[in-house]
Amino acid sequence: MNNPGSMRQTQRLTSDEAGLARAAEILRRRGLVAFPTETVYGLGADATDAQAVAGIYAAKERPSFNPLISHLDSFESAQKQGVFDETARRLAEAFWPGPLTLVVPVAPTCTISDLARAGLDSVGLRVPAHPLAHALLQTTGRPVAAPSANRSGRVSPTDADHVLGDLDGRIDAVLDGGSSQVGVESTIVACLSDTPRLLRPGGVPREAIEALIGMKLEAGAEGGKSPLAPGMLASHYAPRARVRLNAASVEADEAVLLFGRDAPKGADAARTALNLSKNGDLMEAAAHLFSYLRQLDASGAGTIAVSPIPETGLGEAINDRLRRAAAER
Ligand code: TXA
Ligand code: MG
């Protein structure tokens, strides 16, 4: 393995004061902590820190970046991160804490990193009901991004042994809180327009949601793929500029996204240049990816030329996103 996220001593923490304090401390220091929620165990990282979030992808060996759910201790904390319309507010009040995730527009006060949102202007938020999850979020004092705590392609874990079976040596700790009760992931509802959409069925039944809001939920694929109006719930961030991959040389009117020390020919004269990681560190590159794309796009360049990036470790997920950005039109 060529990423640093893969060689860690994994502690099993007990569900007491000391275990919680330690788990929160690790999270605040950019570490990775798996913790129980009522649905499944989540692999948590400080959602506000893109580098910490990059660690999630490295540990899971996930080949692509998708938006992650950020977990909060209360509706009040969630309202700092996202904008809740009337429907979203009613759903939050009825089903939080609990196995429901709401995808809402980002608030101006949002502190959740670009990487956790996969560059989108919306954010997935959930207030879990599990008492340990709640206590951990309160002690940590910031939003915690957490997909299920399994390696990519494996089943979601519902106890600490499952987590260790998949991630021992790849994460800093697992907070052992026994078995998850619900066993399936949270229901995801997007409230981004007048029509709320069901992005993923889960722990809260559709019927309960529809009864509460007095209308049917529209269909919407997980990750927001289809069938949606353009721009409404795009699952991928797409820059306005054209994206040109594996650039060997750069034109003067182009913006350039560099990686490592070998710059393409003409990069010095480019309109703007940003380097994802001078040291060729893929974790650092992942952490910068979405914000740098946005910055280069904002320069007004018609094209963003991108240096070659290796297909190893997190490079696979980075290249996946860049290819989508290059294809999207
Ligand atoms: O039960 C659960 O929800 C578990 C536990 C650990 O809380 N968490 C979980 O998280 O399943 P995660 O990060 O794997 O869920 C990611 C999904 C994405 O595939 C996407 O469907 C949706 O959440 N999502 C999150 N933010 C989104 C956004 N801004 N736009 C569209 N979909 C979003
Ligand atoms: Mg999962």
Answer whether 144 contacts ligand 1 (Cβ < 6 A): no
Neighbours of 205 (CB within 10 A): 11
Question: Per residue in 139-155, pLDDT tens?
Answer: 999 999 999 999 998 89
Phi-psi bin for 268: left (phi > 0), alpha (psi -120 to 50), beta? alpha
What are 114's two structure tokens?
Answer: 């670009």
Residue 88 predicted with pLDDT over 60: yes
Distance CA 309, CA 58 (A): 16
C-alpha to C-alpha distance for 200 and 185, rounded to whole angstroms: 9
pLDDT at residue 203 tops 80: yes
State which H helix or E strand residue 70 sits in. strand 69-71
Q: How far is the CA of 150 from the centre of ligand 2 (A)?
A: 7
Backbone angles phi, psi at 238, to 5 degrees: -125, 120
In Å, how far from its chain's centre is CA 156?
17
The per-residue pLDDT for range 254-311, each reduced to its tens digit, is 999 999 999 999 999 999 999 999 999 999 999 999 999 999 999 999 999 999 999 9
Longest CA pairwise span in the chain (Å)? 61
Is 103's C-beta closer than 6 angstroms to any atom of ligand 1? yes
**Residue owning the nearest CA to atom 10 of ligand 1:** 147
Edge-to-edge strands of the sheet including 100-105?
11-13, 173-175, 33-35, 42-46, 144-145, 69-71, 122-126, 100-105, 187-190, 197-200, 218-219
Q: Is 148 in the pocket of ligand 1 (CB under 6 A)?
A: yes
Predicted model pTM = 0.90
Query: pLDDT over 90 for what percent of the chain?
Result: 85
Q: Which atom of ligand 1 is nearest to the CA of 202?
A: 1
Q: Given the CA of residue 145, which atom of ligand 1 is nearest to it?
A: 13
Residue 243 has pLDDT above 70, yes or no: yes
Residues lining ion ligand 2 (Cβ < 5 A) are 148
Beta carbons of 15 and 175 less than 8 angstroms apart: yes
CA of 147 to the centre of ligand 2 (A): 6
